[in-house]
Amino acid sequence: MMQMVGKYLVLPYWRLLGDDTEPDRVVVDKLSRSYSQMAENDRIGNAQEWLFLQGFDVDMSRVLDQKTSAALKKFNPASNGTLDRDTFTRLYLTIPINQDTLARRYQIAK
């Protein structure tokens, strides 16, 4: 059931199953394809949310500002502060599953 819901909602469900579980290629591919289908400001807005959940201090401006670029470069030095498909995908798939992330998600919801 978890797998079906995860595939449908494009959620990294396998992360709940243990550290030795391989990513689901269907979910990863859907997420990667969504990058191409989004407007740039939507991509950046998602990345800013995910960076915030990862613990970076970024504004939710939907603009690739200096703070966002610096956070992207720190998250993935190879990105040179830009948002490419690989960085976009990795950002989402590596959001921590812990109490700090939950608290940050509540901050976004306010």
Tens-digit pLDDT profile for residues 34-56: 999 999 999 999 999 999 999 99
How much is the pLDDT for 39? 97
How much is the pLDDT for 41? 96
What's the total number of domains in the chain?
1
Give every residue of the chain whose pLDDT is below 70, as ranges. Answer: none
How much is the pLDDT for 10? 79
How much is the pLDDT for 53? 94
How much is the pLDDT for 65? 97
Residue ranges making up the domain that contains 60: 2-109
Quote the DSSP letter at residue 21.
P
DSSP state letters, 33-83: HHHHHS-HHHHHHHHHHHHHHTT------SS--HHHHHHHHHH-GGGTT--
How much is the pLDDT for 69? 97
